[in-house]
Amino acid sequence: MADDQAMNQNLDVQLNAMTKKQLFWQKVASLGVLGIFVVVLISALVMVPKVTMTLSNIDKVSYQVMESIEDIDAMVAEMTEASTGLNKLVSDNADTVTGAVSDLAGIDFEGLNTAIKDLQDTVAPFAAFFRQFR
């Protein structure tokens, strides 16, 4: 019986030592978890306002981009309408311009120059005659 008591006492001592070791490592693990929690909490407190501000800025920029796209769409529509009007103007006046250019090409400039020279030769004596009465 004394052996059983000594054995039980020895087992109690070993069990007590093992429990103390487990308690120590549980405290270490708890402190580790607490440290991780503190790091996550501080990170969240620092990052959340920055993320919120960044998302707000992204929202503002996306709104401005949408307004700019609407303005660009309106400008493209106006440019398309203006080019359509210009095409119509050109096509409406193409025959008139072509006819005017053809008429100008048909002028006999050499004959016109000769006629002007002949007129000048004819008028020059009259001009000299009328200069005498001044």
Q: pLDDT band for position 134 (50/70/90)?
A: low
Distance of CA 83 to the CA centre of its chain: 25
CA–CA distance, 40 with 8 (Å, rounded to integer): 47
Going by C-alpha positions, the residue among 76, 96, 98, 94 that lies closest to residue 86 is 94
What confidence tens digit (pLDDT) does each residue in 65-93 have? Answer: 999 999 999 999 999 999 998 888 888 88
pTM above 0.75, yes or no: no
Indicate if the pLDDT at residue 1 is higher than 70. Answer: no
pLDDT above 70: residue 96? yes
Higher pLDDT, 101 or 13: 13
Return the pLDDT at 44.
92
Burial degree of 105 (CB within 10 A; 0-12, 13-18, 19+):
exposed
pLDDT in tens, 104-126: 777 878 888 898 888 888 888 88
